[in-house]
Amino acid sequence: MSVNYAAGLSPYADKGKCGLPEIFDPPEELEQKVWELARLVWRSSNVVFHTGAGISTASGIPDFRGPHGVWTMEERGLAPKFDTTFESARPTRQNVDGLHVRSGFPRNKLAELHGNMFIEECAKCKTQYVRDTVVGTMGLKATGRLCTVAKARGLRACRGELRDTILDWEDSLPERDLALADEASRSADLSITLGTSLQIRPSGNLPLATKRRGGRLVIVNLQPTKHEDKDEDSTAQLNGSTPARSKSEPRSPRMERPDSPASCGPPKRLKAEAVPS
């Protein structure tokens, strides 16, 4: 999916820093950091997740700037390698692939900043259609289909032109999704980035809005990001595989479990935004 997506974009010279070395925390250190992150989540009232292509690499879908990423291999004059097709990959998230929506995550709490290959939108009434297959175009182009939503009193269909939602390099971010992501980042007391190098602006700078308002930022990535700093009071770094850390549960006997949900009040407000790495 990332290979097809990258191939459909216009030529662009500056793709950011590619192929940076990966850093792995020692198992015990990483386990301790995961427990600390779990405590942060339970003690926070508003948590935002910023997700990137790195969360799908364990499924065989390459990212973009990793050691074997699409654009890293392109810089070396090589073709990207992948171990699976999108159809057979398990849903572990990857920007533009539509898996956030398919997972059942509420659409009104999800900001897909660079689009969704399975969604087309009416240019007139802005109604969105979620398809079972990719819509077939990229770059906000017409898909060849028309809007079927009935107008007032149901007299006739809108028949507005449907367009894909995938951005090309110079396209502006969708207003609705950017506003949602910005508001969520500003109001959050904890932002967690998963599998993104945070190089693309303005998407990559959204987590900083949480820090500026006194919140915490946790970066989960194998490669360095531009937002790492020595401000340990507000920023933490976990260097580990995102899928493994998301599914596993630390078992260290030296550490207490995070407070249970029952002792922490109502469930936390969770929001997510897809930030391509």
Binding site membership: which residues?
122, 125, 147, 158
Binding-site residue set for Zn(2+):
122, 125, 147, 158
In a 10 Å sphere around its CB, with 0-12 CB exposed, 13-18 middle and 19+ buried, how is residue 264 labelled?
middle
Dihedral class, residue 60 (left if φ above 0, else alpha if ψ from -120 to 50, else beta): left
CB 135 within 8 A of CB 187: no
How far, CA to CA in Å, does 204 sit from each of 25, 111, 259? 23, 13, 31
Based on the residue annotation, tell me whether 114 is a catalytic residue of this protein. yes
3-state secondary structure of 96: strand
Q: Which amino acid is at 173?
A: L
DSSP 22: P
How far, CA to CA in Å, does 145 sit from each of 52, 115, 132, 142? 30, 18, 15, 8
How far is it, in rounded angstroms, from Cα 251 to Cα 274? 30
Residue of 50, 100, 114, 227 with catalytic role: 114
How far is it, in rounded angstroms, from Cα 268 to Cα 252? 25
How far is it, in rounded angstroms, from Cα 220 to Cα 236? 9
Order of strands across the sheet that contains 235-238: 110-112, 269-274, 46-51, 190-194, 216-220, 235-238
Residues noted as catalytic: 114
